[in-house]
């Protein structure tokens, strides 16, 4: 009997939902501080919204154009994928509701009360009534739907109240009230405690006062999620416009794409739901009922209120990013990097070291040029400030700006204008390929007239904010051979072409996957010859079928494969058969695992790379990505130590046990509990020569 060709493959989108389920598990986990559980709930919701906007939106488009197309990893049609996605979300929704209700109830033990409109005191009722009459009602813009008033445009992920109205002649109509505008969503009630309600709860409560000429028969709170998958290449490249102007249009157009989901809360009528479905052109499969708020953006506003010491136990104990022990910040950085490579590990170490390097280069008279690829940066970016300063100081500054960084387009458009005004040269990537690499090249003239270089390659963005939340690596080196490769990358980007040959760096889309497959083949040959053979990868996602097939072949040949994959994993492993030598784990914890590390071979002959690329076909085939070898023996040991710690994680790690299912493994009796992120912070404190916080000194934290 022929082997099922989908046996070892998992649908990409269903695998992503499994990842988001692991985020939900953190919200359900009572070992996490209470408000951190609420924060995980907000992350779960935000993740799901983006997934619906992008992935489900893309499937909706495909349903119109290629409805019979078969998913190569599962054999499912587009319609079957959409139905399977909705089934999984429907399965997770009650868990989300239960966890959110439980968390909000437990917050009451800390005198934090969500007053959704029930169990109000008479004083609270009067306060809310006065507040509504004075501060909300005058600003509302309600709609009553009839032949003169068509269904209004509804904003993405914005809360509305729908009401079923009966007029004096007995006719029923649908009314819609936007719960946004000129008022804050989180409303504090007067109290010595923290008591809050949401603006939609207030409007829901007093909806009858919005329509005084009608009787309100029923009401619901709802929000919609719109398709946000729009391709600039397909939409506008026939137009004679600058790429930045195109992206400004794209951002505006995205907000008006078709809905893909309807979330209902506190519904009093099926009729309201039916009318909304009809006007939004949604099916029952795309409607989800919630017991609590449909949009959780208020969580960050609530967090801002909890600064008092008495709320400290609601949050993770504080951890502070440490200075790198590899450099002396009291001395110039460039001369130190010229003597030895430097590896920074975020958030365990501070990104200030990298920012210092840019600021130093901007002021250094020997620096001739700074070239950098930029994908996402912070709102008030010190990286951008340093590049502007360099340009104003007469240095050549070339910035490859990826305006298609999804949902960061507006920010990228704004700071690209600032750079251009300062005199920097801007390149808007390559047609058909996103530039996702994190690459910096500083060129300087030495005293003897020769050229010197500093090259940096990172696994994450040049963003000071996310560097505090995402785990990433950044390698900085003065190696001239690496710099020559980096110069070739920038030369090709300037000419709108791709790197076809690179002897040190791996550069997608033409050399990275090819090099990875070649190194895996080398391990297969070693295993077949009877020598120890090993592969270790830490990545965020895996769906490239060429790499998956090669990994299966390597496992079948006897290569030991260890993979730490945070999110999407389209490889299904089993304890027997061809995948018996592959172990896959996923770590979801306090910080977002984001670093990409490739280890080819056992330690005694190992090639070590860090990269901006996951093993996703989009990264390996449709993006410009860069992987850099780590050559310094001490830094190679440091990366191996990081991997070893993560492989020993028994607190936040979950292991794939077949069919895409992940489970935490039981901790043996008497064995230490190892949270790899906490352990890596311990290492950072020690390397910086700083004492550990008291709570970190405990055996079980």
Candidates 45, 60, 214, 436; catalytic one: 436
From the number of C-beta atoms within 10 Å of its C-beta (0-12, 13-18, 19+), residue 198 rates as buried
Contact between 243 and 415 (Cβ < 8 Å) = no
d(CA 619, CA 435) in angstroms, rounded, equals 10
Contact between 689 and 325 (Cβ < 8 Å) = yes
DSSP 26-64: HHH-TTS-HHHHHHHHHHHHHHHHHHIIIIIHHHHHHHH
Beta strand pairing status for 259-265 and 112-114?
Answer: unpaired
d(CA 460, CA 466) in angstroms, rounded, equals 9
Residue located via tokens 């005694």: 604
- Decide: helix, strand or coil at residue 222: strand
Whether 436 is a known active-site residue: answer: yes
Contact between 412 and 405 (Cβ < 8 Å) = yes
Contacts of 223 (CB under 8 A, 6+ apart): 157, 158, 159, 160, 262, 263, 294, 295
d(CA 450, CA 97) in angstroms, rounded, equals 65
Residue located via tokens 């090709």: 492
3-state helix, strand, coil in the chain (%, to 5): 40, 20, 35
From the number of C-beta atoms within 10 Å of its C-beta (0-12, 13-18, 19+), residue 252 rates as exposed
d(CA 459, CA 628) in angstroms, rounded, equals 10
CA separation (Å) from 207 to 33, 200, 469? Answer: 37, 10, 41
HEC assignment per residue over 562-582? EEEECCCECECCCCCHHHCCE
- Report the side by side order of strands in the sheet with 186-188: 112-114, 194-198, 186-188
Catalytic residue annotation: 436
């Amino acid at each position: 009997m022929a082997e099922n060709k989908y046996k070892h493959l998992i649908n990409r989108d269903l695998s992503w939902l499994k990842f988001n389920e692991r985020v939900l598990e953190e919200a359900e986990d009572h070992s996490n501080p209470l408000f951190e559980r609420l924060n995980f709930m907000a992350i779960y919701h935000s993740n799901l919204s983006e997934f619906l906007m992008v992935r489900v939106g893309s499937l909706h488009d495909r349903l119109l154009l290629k409805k019979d197309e078969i998913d190569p990893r599962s054999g499912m049609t587009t319609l079957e994928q959409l139905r399977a996605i909705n089934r999984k979300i429907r399965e997770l929704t009650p868990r989300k509701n239960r966890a959110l209700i439980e968390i909000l109830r437990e917050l009451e033990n800390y005198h934090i009360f969500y007053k959704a409109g029930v169990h109000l005191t008479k004083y609270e009722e009067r306060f809310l009534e006065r507040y509504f009459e004075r501060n909300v009602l005058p600003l509302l813009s309600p709609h009553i739907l009839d032949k003169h008033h068509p269904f209004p445009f509804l904003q993405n992920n914005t809360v509305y109240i729908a009401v079923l109205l009966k007029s004096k002649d007995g006719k029923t109509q649908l009314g819609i009230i936007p719960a946004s505008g000129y008022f804050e969503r989180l409303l504090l009630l007067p109290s010595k405690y923290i008591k809050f309600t949401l603006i939609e709860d207030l409007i829901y409560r007093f909806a009858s006062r919005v329509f005084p000429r009608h009787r309100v028969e029923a009401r619901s709170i709802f929000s919609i999620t719109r398709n946000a998958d729009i391709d600039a290449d397909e939409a506008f490249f026939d137009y004679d416009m600058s790429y930045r102007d195109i992206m400004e249009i794209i951002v505006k157009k995205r907000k008006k794409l078709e809905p893909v989901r309807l979330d209902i809360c506190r519904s009093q009528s099926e009729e309201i739901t039916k009318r909304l479905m009809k006007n939004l052109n949604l099916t029952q499969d795309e409607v989800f009922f919630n017991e609590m708020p449909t949009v959780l953006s208020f969580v960050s506003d609530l967090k801002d209120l909890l600064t008092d010491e008495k709320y400290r136990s609601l949050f993770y104990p504080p951890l502070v990013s440490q200075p790198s022990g590899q450099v002396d910040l009291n001395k110039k950085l460039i001369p130190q990097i010229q003597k030895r490579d430097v590896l920074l590990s975020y958030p365990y170490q501070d990104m200030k070291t990298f920012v210092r390097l840019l600021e130093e280069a901007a002021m250094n008279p020997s620096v001739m040029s700074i070239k950098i690829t930029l994908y996402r940066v912070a709102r008030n970016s010190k990286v951008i400030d340093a590049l502007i300063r360099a340009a104003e100081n007469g240095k050549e500054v070339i910035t490859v700006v990826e305006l298609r960084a999804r949902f960061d387009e507006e920010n990228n458009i704004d700071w690209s204008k600032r750079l251009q005004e300062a005199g920097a040269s801007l390149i808007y990537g390559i047609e058909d390929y996103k530039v996702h690499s994190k690459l910096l090249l500083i060129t300087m003239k030495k005293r003897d007239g020769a050229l010197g270089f500093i090259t940096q390659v990172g696994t994450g963005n040049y963003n000071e904010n996310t560097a505090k939340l995402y785990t990433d690596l950044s390698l900085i080196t003065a190696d001239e051979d690496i710099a020559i490769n980096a110069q070739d990358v920038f030369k090709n980007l300037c000419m709108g072409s791709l790197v076809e040959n690179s002897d040190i760096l791996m550069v997608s889309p033409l050399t990275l996957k090819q090099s990875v497959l070649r190194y895996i083949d080398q391990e297969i040959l070693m295993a077949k010859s009877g020598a120890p053979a090993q592969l270790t990868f830490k990545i965020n996602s895996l769906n490239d079928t060429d790499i998956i097939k090669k990994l299966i072949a390597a496992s079948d040949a006897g290569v030991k494969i260890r993979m730490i994959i945070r999110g999407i994993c389209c490889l299904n492993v089993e304890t027997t058969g061809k995948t018996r030598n592959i172990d896959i784990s996923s770590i979801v914890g306090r910080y977002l695992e984001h670093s990409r590390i490739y280890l080819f071979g056992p330690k005694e002959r190992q090639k070590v790379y860090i990269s901006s690329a996951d093993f996703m076909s989009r990264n390996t085939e449709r993006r410009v990505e860069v992987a850099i070898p780590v050559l310094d023996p001490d830094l190679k040991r440091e990366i191996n130590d990081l991997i070893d710690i993560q492989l020993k994680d028994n607190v936040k790690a979950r292991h794939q046990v077949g069919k895409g299912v992940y489970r935490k493994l039981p901790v043996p009796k008497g064995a230490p509990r190892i949270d790899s992120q906490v352990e890596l912070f311990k290492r950072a404190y020690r390397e910086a020569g700083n004492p550990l916080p008291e709570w970190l000194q405990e055996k079980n934290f």
